[in-house]
Structure 1
Amino acid sequence: MSLFGTLRMPRNLVFGAGQRHALPPFAASLGQRALVVTDERLAADPIFAALLDGLARAGLQVRVFDGVIAELPVACIAAAVEAGRVHGADLVIGIGGGSCLDAAKVAALLLSHGGTASDYYGEFRVPGPVLPLICIPTTAGTGSEVTPVAVVTDPDKALKVGIASPHLISHTAICDPELTYSCPPGLTAVSGADALTHAIEAYTTKRRQPGPELVHEHVFLGKNALSDHYALLAISHISAGLKRAYDDGSDSEARGRLMLGATAAGLAFGTAGTAAAHAVQYPVGAMTHTPHGAGVATLMPYVMTFNSGWCAPELAEIGRAMGLVGRGTTEEQAAATVDAVAALFAAIGIPRTLAGLGVEEAQLPQIAEQSMGITRLIKNNPRPIDDASMMDLVRAAFTGDRMRLRSTDKADRP
């Protein structure tokens, strides 16, 4: 196999405790009238006020939009865009969790190119550069500060929908783990679990033939040498820091490792993409209104088992990044990795089954059908999926029977 690698990433990426104070010079170099996109809770935080003071001292005129709400309905984005238009914004700064950062991305897009969010659903629909964008995460989870995708909730589709384009990558990402110290245990858990699923799926995505057209035909182009590096880096740091940060939010080392891991996971999946766990979570999240991170983490051990015949060496390598001592065959090491991931998620309160998320058995056929429709994710899965195998996957995730997936995997593997 010839080496091939690519990364889609910000021009500037700054990580470290206290680095939020680097914001004003970056902002002043990009614009004069900043739209700051956040939520109501963060807008009342003294740390946020200090960031605004720094921007004012740097000579920027600032308009704060604090109307971002969870799951990011498109109406919320329209209000942010109107605020930016009235202000005459020439720069957008997103501060907050994944919904705030995604809202900032889409606002920068619509302020530049007009229309509505639905005009840009899918891949490569953004026609050109957007307003300069700075992203500052306050949770260690989505990695949105470094990725080329924004996810919104469209009531007409009853599902979350993605806008994916390299033009959505922030100009500058500033990742300060001190901003996560106040995250409660539940948010720490679902955010960190989301990040770990990003890294695992990025490392196990389908590898495509690296022709010169690949980077132009796919925003998420599959497993490659550079995304692999960041995926394993992420897995190492997240697996070491997640339970510690969940148990003790004041553990600064754990908080730092968790945020570094989340950002590295964003770099990995922002190029490689994610796969079946994220595809199934789209309809599950719409039905249950549970946090995205809880859904993908619930699904991840089942998807890993489902895929194990197609990526056992990669699963074994993930286990080594988690600190497991590799013993036995590659297949046995892969199975031990899945067990370790399931145990970590259980230890931080992630439900073990879809039933635990509130899914009803009668909803399984609809979940399977809608999951198959998320083609940009399904095409990344290392094991080919058809309607019947998708139904096997969601039923196993509902009942908790991972062994069932091992038997179907053995029957179908190449």
Structure 2
Amino acid sequence: MPEQPEQPDPPGTLRLPARVHFGHGTRRLLPGITALHGRRVLLVADPFLAGTPLLGDLTGSLARAGLDVRTYSDITPELPAGTLDAAAEAAREHRAHSVLAIGGGSTLDAAKLIALLCVHGGPLDQYYGENRVPGPVLPVVAVPTTAGTGSEVTPVAVVSDPARELKVGVSSPFLVPAAAVVDPGLTLGAPRDVTAFSGIDALVHAAESYTARALHTDAGADLPVFTGHNALTEPVALRAAQHLGAWLPVAVREPSHRHARHQVALGALLAGVSFGSAGTHLCHALQYPIGALTGTPHGLGTGLLLPYVLDTLREDPGTAVRIASFGAALEDVPASDASAARTVAAAAGINRAVGVPATLSGIGLTRAQLPRVADLALTATRLLSIAPVEPTRDMLLGILDRAYTGILDGRRAA
């Protein structure tokens, strides 16, 4: 009989849409799926879709299914909190039964918050943080046109608030969409940088959810929205790494490669499934101030930081084992050939292959700004609470210093 482990068997938590559909052509399911939630629909569309055949075909198919659709596409980049009030009013005026969202991560996040405000009212800042949404919101049907954010299956939406230095999140199981339809064909027109930065962010989602500290709560206690790695998210994160590690560089190099788009979209969806319950940690905590200071895309920042975060975390023996296991999936090699150091090198190699900058100095951050970045990151308590080791200011500064100079394992990364 095998020996019993010293640690108790880990519990498992998944929070997912009631329906998730994946594959080329699944957009054809949208009229039927949307109709399940009522006839009146607010269609929240990414502004770049306005006037395109795609949006015209979608609204036409919804109309033929007997749905009464109002389209709203005034979505502002970075989602300033105050801009969502008008959208929520549009949903109320239309007496919407559901919100259908099609676009990138900001559009899907906007739809979640519109669905929240339409039912529960504002101001939005009363919901900042975890588990502050009082009840169900309008059903959201989420259709991503990029492969990366995973917002179509997660319980969080992120906005910028002029009163705060950093982006803020609203996290609640009530924000999980009612349905997700992920059609890889919708990503075929994505620009190279969008493919690269959204895809590498998905890889970070998989890596951080797999290495996140497991939060064990007492029986009957209210669960936090993000519980750390668990028995149900672990295999999903590893599967996401397999798809993304092999195929993200191909999708960036060959944008019309249909199979690569399929694989990357599947990897991004699986990474969203994993982090939607497990959560993310240090890369994201550090990126929020870095993105604010440099004006660079979210995925660029999290991807740039990933090798440096892993390189620091592998100094902890227990975390090093998990990093090595993740690397075995990422490179599709036997566990006996994997190591934490090899995983760090593989992550840096993927960054080079897809065009993620190697250093913070290369994206305009100055050394004098590093202490401020560390201090702001320390305020991201939700993210830091599931870091695999207890984060300190000195540790964060160490990561930032490595990322600023490009030093991995004592050697220059690029």
Question: Which among 225, 236, 254 is matched to residue 260 of structure 2?
Answer: 254
Question: Which residue does the alignment assign to 1:270?
Answer: 276
The AA in structure 2 aligned to 1:73 is P
Question: Which among 50, 61, 65 is matched to residue 58 of structure 1?
Answer: 65
Residues 12-411 of structure 1 correspond to what in structure 2 (within 5 A)? 12-209=19-216, 211-213=218-220, 216-310=222-316, 311-326=319-334, 333-403=339-409
Match status 1:4 vs 2:11: yes
Write out the 4+ residue segments of structure 1 that deviate beyond 6 Å after TM superposition: 327-330
The AA in structure 2 aligned to 1:306 is T
- Work out the percentage of aligned pairs sharing the same amino acid: 46
Q: 1:21 deviation in Å?
A: 0.7
CA distance 1:90–1:329, shift in 2 (3 Å): closer
Say if 1:32 and 1:90, in contact at 8 Å, map to a contact too: yes
User: 5+ unaligned residues in a row in structure 2: which ranges?
Assistant: 1-7
Q: 1:210 deviation in Å?
A: 5.2
State how far apart, in whole Å, the 2-side matches of 1:174 and 1:324 are.
Answer: 28
The AA in structure 2 aligned to 1:165 is S
Q: Deviations over 1:49-83 (max 9, x none)?
A: 11111111111111111111321111332221122
| 1:127 aligned counterpart, secondary structure | coil
Say if 1:295 and 1:357, in contact at 8 Å, map to a contact too: no
Q: 1:324 deviation in Å?
A: 4.9
Q: Deviations over 1:111-155 (max 9, x none)?
A: 010012211000000000000110000000100000000000111
Q: Deviations over 1:141-185 (max 9, x none)?
A: 100000000000111102110100000000000000000000111
Say if 1:396 and 1:404, in contact at 8 Å, map to a contact too: no
Question: Which residue does the alignment assign to 1:411?
Answer: none
State how far apart, in whole Å, the 2-side matches of 1:400 and 1:33 are.
Answer: 53
Q: 1:377 deviation in Å?
A: 0.4
CA distance 1:371–1:213, shift in 2 (3 Å): farther
Q: Deviations over 1:68-115 (max 9, x none)?
A: 132111133222112212222121111000000000000000001001
CA distance 1:386–1:3, shift in 2 (3 Å): closer
State how far apart, in whole Å, the 2-side matches of 1:164 and 1:313 are.
Answer: 30
State how far apart, in whole Å, the 1-side matches of 2:329 and 2:72 are.
Answer: 40
The AA in structure 1 aligned to 2:364 is G
CA distance 1:17–1:324, shift in 2 (3 Å): closer
User: 5+ unaligned residues in a row in structure 1: which ranges?
Assistant: 406-414
State how far apart, in whole Å, the 1-side matches of 2:334 and 2:183 are.
Answer: 34
| 1:352 aligned counterpart, secondary structure | coil
Say if 1:4 and 1:210, in contact at 8 Å, map to a contact too: no
Say if 2:328 and 2:335, in contact at 8 Å, map to a contact too: no
| 2:160 aligned counterpart, secondary structure | strand
Q: 1:43 deviation in Å?
A: 2.1
Say if 1:316 and 1:326, in contact at 8 Å, map to a contact too: no
State how far apart, in whole Å, the 1-side matches of 2:176 and 2:337 are.
Answer: 41
Say if 1:39 and 1:69, in contact at 8 Å, map to a contact too: no
Say if 2:331 and 2:346, in contact at 8 Å, map to a contact too: no
State how far apart, in whole Å, the 2-side matches of 1:363 and 1:328 are.
Answer: 41
Say if 1:151 and 1:162, in contact at 8 Å, map to a contact too: yes
State how far apart, in whole Å, the 1-side matches of 2:71 and 2:171 are.
Answer: 25
Q: Deviations over 1:179-203 (max 9, x none)?
A: 0000111110001001000000000
Question: Which residue does the alignment assign to 1:408?
Answer: none
Richer in helix (by share): 1
The AA in structure 1 aligned to 2:357 is P
Q: Deviations over 1:290-324 (max 9, x none)?
A: 10000000011111011113311111111211235
TM-score, structure 1 as length reference: 0.94
State how far apart, in whole Å, the 2-side matches of 1:324 and 1:237 are.
Answer: 10
State how far apart, in whole Å, the 1-side matches of 2:104 and 2:292 are.
Answer: 19
User: What is the root-mean-square deviation in Å for CA atoms of aligned residues?
Assistant: 1.5
